[in-house]
Structure 1
Amino acid sequence: MMTAGLAAAMALASPAWTKGAGASLDTADVDLFYRLYDASGGRPSAEQLQAGYIDAGSPGLRTFFVARRTTATRLAEAIAARPELYQKARACADVLPKVKGRVDAALERFTALYPQARAPSVTVAVGRGKPVAIGSPVTGVQVGLEALCATEFMNPDTEGRFVGVLVHEYAHAQQNPLLTEKEKPTVLEAALLEGGAEFVTELLVGRPAYVYFEPLTKGREREIETAFAADLDKTDLSAWFYNSTPEKPADLGYWTGYRIAKAYYANAKDKRAALREILTVSDARALLAASGWTPGMTLE
């Protein structure tokens, strides 16, 4: 079932798709934001943000805001509460040209491994500090510049962090919309979506986007995954997803889903077919059974 937010987002934006092309990073909304930010002395009002940024911005910007319930009022409050976030983001944007080159190389590898791959345009915008990014086969990819710049705990290397997150979101854009747009996915379904994107990121750039998982999980693999196995069919995702903070990194459903996807790929004779199934999975239980995954198993 489609949510009201998703339906509104779909009405706002239909992403431009290309096959076998490099990354298209649209930063016009960032430029628009900082012109208004400077003109208002760094304290734009909700009215100024609505007229001069949200209404004047791209369809991708409005899709991003609708999907995550960001309003002009919430954005004005975030800017007033955390001015350093917006000052830092401007300098952080300087890495984008190098990021694009590395993402282009990853997408070239992606097309070689998965010829069906499509590359949506990516909207880089400024939001209220969250989310970092969203990717969908329906509405494309949107990135919150200020949020991604601030999440050093994900990966302390800014350039590497941007590359990993963008490739992760490109993977989401290939996935099965029957799962990505499902109103109440199970813990296992969400794990295969997020973990599948993490596995694809590792396959393309040599490491997952969320590099903090390794030290967080080392020596606790069986404990974490035994708890995960008990929650597979739950639709309350709060214990496993979207619960990280800089003070307490979490989101361990990403990590467990990544390990299931990796086990499935390692167990498959036809790697191209395995990659296709990881990206387009519709039967989460069948993929789990075929993966041979067990809690705490050793993976290369």
Structure 2
Amino acid sequence: MKRISTIILSLVFASAFSQKSAKIFTSDIDNFWVAYDSIQKTNDHTQKLALIKKLYTDKGTPGLKAFMKARDYNDTVFVNIIEKYPKFLNSIRPNTLTIKTKTNELEASIIKLKEIYPDLKEAEMYFTIGGLNSGGTVSGKMVLVGAELATGLPSTDISELKDEWLKSVFAMQSLDNIVSLNVHEYIHTQQTGDRRRVLSQSIKEGACDLMAELVMNKPLERKYLSYGAAHTAEVKNLFKKEMFTGNFTNWLYNGRQKGESADLGYYIGYEICKSYYRNAKDKKKAVKDIIELNYNNDKAVEDFLTRSKFFTEKIDKQKLISEYEKNLPYVVKTDPANGTVNVNADIKEIRITFSKEMVPGNYSFNLSDKGKEYMPITKVIGMENGDKTLVLGVDLKPGKEYEFVITNKSFASKDGYPLKDENLLIKFKTGNK
């Protein structure tokens, strides 16, 4: 009887271990390198595409397929990377293969996470080779990690890379980061809401970092955390002015634009969550509050901020919004004037003048509802008038209506504010000759 019980218990433990292990998938990494080696044997681009499809993407896990969909990857993207960055890939290869040796650490981190947050829902962890632009993301209950970025080190051969932001990321990384990165993304699978507001999104990201730190039981090494800590008063003051807006320019996903001061929303969100946790008497409840915060509920997020005691002063939301909106650039005039009829069809340029100096090179135009036949713009000539006036080349015909939309997706003032009008319709009509 004792032997039967022992066998049963062994089978139970083996089954539990097997199920736990099945939540981590690294086969995409192995498949990529098989495809990579096969591609080295041919110079035919079509054959390379066939090989990456057969040996990598067709064999891909659900995680790889979700990653490809989320980041718009395809077979051509992978082949282009293989052709352009052989030195980088060869130097990163051993690092990506070490992920399999970290399975126990990854599983232990999730067990620890379950200890501090008993309501943890299971998620699957997929480690893939991506398109060199995403270290990690989530899709539903899947954690998706791009190992070619997540395992980059200071020693990685970056001589072929042109992206300065990417180089700086590698300079700060170690292979130990893969576990904390995984915990960060795992928390995203537990969260609710996707409100595109600086305050909400910053807390959402910062919550993941704090949970990773609690699980790892040591401070995270992140550039934005060290930079933020060294400039706390300045960063905190600017955040207060912009936290109720949807302008991520100064705060999130801006590594290529902001350099060493990038992603400071992560730092502020981390500090807000850390303050909430530190001030809570019941730490387990605090963890639950942080993870289960509904980011679609503005009031819930603002109440969380208040309870965190991150800001000691009283926050006047409407005053902050009003002051922010006063700084937004807007279109002062257009030449020809918006809505004008009988415009000379011989003109070759139109001018749009803004209330502030704008960042050159950042422009965004959409077709109006009437379609492309109403679009007059043929080219962007550039800025004049101290970068306050944008000059556009046009090709006009007599007796015709023209329309286009200026969006605030790319237009920004030099002091970091987006265009006031989200979609401004510009229209005019030419006269008959």
Structure-1-length-normalised TM-score: 0.81
CA offsets 1:147-189 (integer angstroms, 9 cap, x no match):
112265467453311111111111112212xx1xx3x520111
- 2:193 corresponds to 1:187: no
> Partner of 2:111 in structure 1?
108
Counterpart among 145, 148, 151 of residue 147 in structure 2: 145
Letter in 2 for 1:268: A
Match of 2:88 among 63, 85, 88: 85
**Aligned counterpart for 2:306 among listed residues 277, 289, 293:** 289
Q: Check conservation: 2:279, 2:308, Cα contact below 8 A.
A: yes
Counterpart code for 2:224: F
Residue correspondence of structure 1 range 11-22 to structure 2 within 5 A = 21=20
CA distance in structure 2 between the aligned counterparts of 1:246 and 1:75, rounded to whole angstroms: 25
Question: Contact 2:206–2:267 (CA<8 Å) still a contact in 1?
Answer: yes
Identity across the alignment (%): 25
- Find the structure with the greater CA-based Rg: 2
Which among 261, 272, 275 is matched to residue 260 of structure 1? 272
Correspondence for 1:271 = 283
Write out aligned runs for 1:7-156 (5 A): 21=20, 24-41=23-40, 45-136=48-139, 138-150=140-152, 152=154, 153=169, 156=172
Mind listing any 5+ residue stretches in structure 2 that lack a counterpart? 1-16, 155-168, 295-299, 314-433
Residue 212 to residue 83, structure 1, CA distance change in 2 (3 Å): same
Q: Does the CA contact (< 8 Å) of 2:153 and 2:175 recur in 1? A: no
- Which is richer in helix? 1
- Alignment partner for residue 177 of structure 2, among 161, 178, 181? 161
SS of structure 1 residue aligned to 2:122 = strand
Give the 3-state SS of the residue equivalent to 1:150 in structure 2: coil
Q: Is the 8 A contact 1:29 1:57 kept in 2?
A: yes
Indicate the larger mover: 147-156 or 184-193. 147-156
2: distance between equivalents of 1:120 and 1:277? Answer: 20
Which position in structure 2 is the counterpart of 1:13? none
Structure 1 residue 208: deviation in Å? 5.1
Once the two structures are superposed, residues 118-163 of structure 1 have per-residue CA deviations (whole angstroms, 9 ceiling, x without a partner) of 3312111111112001135x24101101011226546745331111
Q: 1 CA distance for matches of 2:271 and 2:183? A: 18
Output the CA distance in 1 between the equivalents of 2:170 and 2:181: 10
Q: 1:151 to 1:68 in 2, by over 3 A?
A: farther
CA RMSD of the aligned region, Å? 2.7
Equivalent position of 2:379 in the other structure? none
Higher relative contact order (CA 8 A, sep 6+): 1
Answering whether residue 169 of structure 2 is matched by residue 170 of structure 1, we say: no
Q: Single out whichever of 44-53 and 250-259 deviates more from structure 2.
A: 44-53
**SS in structure 1 of the partner of residue 87 of structure 2:** helix
Instruction: Report if the CA contact (8 A) 1:22-1:103 is conserved.
Output: no
Q: Measure the CA separation in 2 of the matches of 1:247 and 1:257.
A: 18
**194-203 or 28-37, which deviates more:** 28-37
Contact 1:21 1:108 in 2 (8 A): no
Shift in alpha-carbon separation, 1:171–1:292, aligned structure 2, 3 A: same
Q: What is aligned with 1:238?
A: 249
User: Alpha-carbon deviation of 1:214?
Assistant: 4.1
Does the Cα contact within 8 Å between 2:203 and 2:273 map onto a contact in 1?
Answer: yes
Residues 145/129 of structure 1: CA separation in 2 closer, same or farther (3 Å cut)? same
1:220 pairs, out of 231, 234, 238, with 231
Shift of the 142–295 alpha-carbon distance from structure 1 to 2, 3 Å rule, reads farther
More strand by share: 2
Q: State the alpha-carbon separation in 1 of the partners of residues 219 and 198 from structure 2.
A: 20
